[in-house]
Amino acid sequence: MLSLLISLLPVAVAGTMSAVPASMTIIILLSPTSQRGAWWFLTGSFTGTLLLVGAAAAGLRFLPGAEGPDRNATLAVGGLVVAACVIAYGIYVLSHPRTTDSAALTRVRTRVGSARPWEYLALGLALNLRPKAIILSLTAGTLIGLQGLEPVASGVVVLAYILIAQAEILVPIVLRIRRPERADAVLQGLDAWLQRHSGTITGVTLLVAGLFIAWLSVARF
């Protein structure tokens, strides 16, 4: 299990280095309803990631032939398909640098002061529908599913992955609670750094994760 957690670390770091969720978290934390909104936002994001990663990990068990004599070959083919998608998206991210969607953030700023709890929850859930979030969740779920762990062990690994991947939201919240007098400057600096470097970090980690999935898949033949 330890080796699996280590292999998931690059994918989780790629999830952590996402400018959009981090920027939205910072906007919420700097609003009048910071405490309430941030926790609901985290809950939505955590739940969405849990559903996607869990579905991807469990889905490999239900592939045609996944429990028969050709189980290894079936899982290997499924893993190679996922690896190809991850590598292709990593190349796309590296070759198409972009900044955070300022229009989306502007809409969040206009609503954040009057938003209700369910709106923060829905926003957190919706962020998991971004292409990057889907690819990362699919990658993590595939890495977990390829190991063939028992359901309880798989659940523990899924939760550990999500806790790391959600650090982009969790860390700013904790910082705001523990060091409110310094939080504003630190959060704004973190936001600016992510805007500059998140694309490169995500692209590289996706390539590494995709190659790792391909290696694990080929080893099953």
Give percent helix, percent strand, percent coil of the chain, each to the nearest 5.
85, 0, 15
The CA–CA distances, whole Å, from 199 to 93, 151, 203 equal: 6, 34, 6
Kindly indicate the confidence band of residue 49, based on its pLDDT and cuts at 50, 70 and 90: very high
pLDDT at 58: 82
The secondary structure of residue 61, as a DSSP letter, is G
What is the chain's Cα-based Rg?
18
Distance of CA 211 to the CA centre of its chain: 18
Choice between 105 and 16, residue whose per-residue pLDDT is larger: 16
Kindly indicate the confidence band of residue 70, based on its pLDDT and cuts at 50, 70 and 90: low
Segment 70-77 shows an average pLDDT of: 70
- Report the chain's mean pLDDT, rounded to a whole number: 80
pLDDT at 41: 93
Instruction: Return all residues near 63 (Cβ < 8 A) that are at least 6 apart.
Output: 74, 75, 78
Is pLDDT of 63 > 70? Answer: no
Amino acid identity for residue 106 in this structure: T
Segment 56-72 shows an average pLDDT of: 65
Instruction: Return all residues near 66 (Cβ < 8 A) that are at least 6 apart.
Output: 60, 74, 75
pTM score, whole prediction: 0.78
pLDDT 10s digits, 153-191: 888 999 999 999 898 899 888 888 888 777 778 877 877
CA dist 82 and 99 (Å) reads 26
Is pLDDT of 106 > 80? Answer: no
Token pair 């190679």: residue: 80
